[in-house]
């Protein structure tokens, strides 16, 4: 079965995000005074041929741990459809 | 001393590193293509050069880390061979977990290409034996992702074992926030592994290793390695 995975990778809380900080400054400059924090992440979409949804979940988790996220600085989450 | 320089797709300091090992040090040096594997006994020193391996896609060094040559590099590191990662090479060593921590984009999101001053924090390594502890040297940097990060626990362990080898400082040797070009925790510019045989550094010693380049402060990184390896042979280590 073909499974579509949407994976979100973002900096862990507590890790300063240089891009987010720059974007926050730009938004404030544009007059969006209420902006308190900006975090920039990555969206990775994968189309996967898997035996079952459980199989896909296991494979995607493995991909995140091995390559897609760096556990030293990043967290990940994903949804399958 | 037998030297290897690994060539990844997107490496651009491979020729400079090859030149430093072969012509400046006068040692037999080979290029190793990223698709090649080698044996741990083939080389005494393996250099991972700077550049933009695999276009820095995903994260700098993240894809290069899984190349066939890196499998051999990891085995050579476990066998105690000397591994020197410069700039992108340092990023690859972090992704391969041969060194602790990770790199983020520079604090100001700019690519920094200029000389910096470094303080030699640890001269008791195979890579820094010919420097004095606390010596201030001038070495160029050229990177967009050199913002070293490690959590508090990792930092404490790293410092306790003397893992911090180079820090960014001003010309008088003060390790200040202003002298930090990229936002690295505690101004870290270079670290060494627990076993002492793997060094990663963002500055480029190969770019300041000859008189004709106007600066020779980086040459002793290579000369220290040679002295260490020849000493090891002499002492049967």
Tell me how far apart the alpha carbons of residues B58 and A15 are, in angstroms, rounded to a whole number: 18
Look up the domain containing A63 and give its range: 2-80
Is residue A61 predicted with pLDDT exceeding 70? yes
Q: Which of A46, A70, A74 to mutate to test the interface with B (most CBs of B within 10 A)?
A: A70
Instruction: Report the domain count for chain A.
Output: 1
Chain A: residues touching B (Cβ < 8 Å) = 11, 15-19, 22, 67-68, 70, 72-73
- The mean predicted confidence, pLDDT, of chain B is 96
Quote the percentage of chain B above a pLDDT of 90: 97
What are the residues whose beta carbons fall under 8 Å from the beta carbon of B212, sequence distance 6 or more?
Answer: none
Domains of chain B from N-terminus onward: 3-234 (3.40.50.880)
* B59, B66, B107: residue with CB nearest A70: B59
- Show the tokens assigned to B208: 């300041």
Tell me how far apart the alpha carbons of residues A32 and A47 are, in angstroms, rounded to a whole number: 37
Q: What is the pLDDT of residue B69?
A: 97
- Show the tokens assigned to B9: 């797709």
Tell me how far apart the alpha carbons of residues B128 and B120 are, in angstroms, rounded to a whole number: 8
ipTM: 0.83
Mean pLDDT confidence for A1-16:
94
Cβ distance of A18 and B102 shorter than 8 Å: no
Q: For the domain that residue A35 is a member of, what is the CATH number?
A: 3.30.1280.10
- Nearest Cα neighbor of B228 from B103, B137, B127, B99 is B127
Per-residue model confidence as pLDDT tens digits over B6-31? 999 999 999 999 999 999 999 999 99
Measured at the alpha carbon of residue B29, what is the angle toward residues B33 and B4, in degrees to the nearest 5?
45
């Amino acid at each position: 079965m073909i499974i579509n995975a949407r994976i979100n990778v973002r900096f862990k809380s507590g890790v300063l995000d240089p891009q987010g900080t720059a974007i926050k400054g730009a938004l404030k400059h544009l007059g969006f005074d209420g902006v308190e924090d900006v975090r920039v992440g990555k969206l990775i979409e994968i189309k996967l041929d898997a035996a079952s949804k459980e199989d896909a979940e296991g494979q995607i988790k493995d991909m995140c741990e091995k390559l897609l996220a760096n556990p030293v600085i990043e967290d990940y989450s994903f949804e399958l459809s | 001393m037998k030297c290897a320089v690994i060539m990844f797709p997107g490496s651009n300091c491979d020729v400079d590193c090859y030149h430093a090992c072969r012509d400046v040090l006068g040692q037999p040096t080979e290029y190793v293509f990223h698709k090649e594997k080698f044996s741990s006994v083939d080389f005494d020193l393996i250099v991972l050069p700077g550049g933009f391996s695999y276009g820095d896609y995903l994260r700098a060094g993240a894809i290069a880390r899984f190349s066939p040559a890196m499998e051999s590099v990891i085995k050579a590191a476990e066998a105690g061979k000397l591994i020197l990662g410069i700039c992108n090479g340092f990023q690859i060593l972090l992704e391969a977990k041969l060194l602790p921590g990770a790199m983020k984009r520079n604090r100001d999101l700019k690519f920094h290409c200029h000389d910096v001053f470094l303080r030699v924090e640890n001269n008791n390594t195979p890579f820094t034996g010919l420097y004095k502890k606390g010596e201030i040297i001038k070495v160029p940097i050229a990177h967009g992702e050199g913002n070293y990060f490690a959590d508090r626990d990792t930092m404490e362990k790293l410092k306790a074992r003397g893992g911090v080898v180079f820090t960014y400082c001003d010309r008088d040797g003060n390790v200040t926030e202003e002298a930090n070009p990229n936002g690295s925790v505690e101004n870290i510019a270079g670290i060494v592994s627990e076993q002492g045989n793997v060094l990663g550094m963002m500055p480029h010693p190969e770019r300041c290793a000859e008189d004709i380049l106007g600066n020779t402060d980086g040459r002793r990184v290579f000369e220290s390695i040679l002295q260490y390896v020849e000493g090891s042979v002499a002492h049967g280590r």
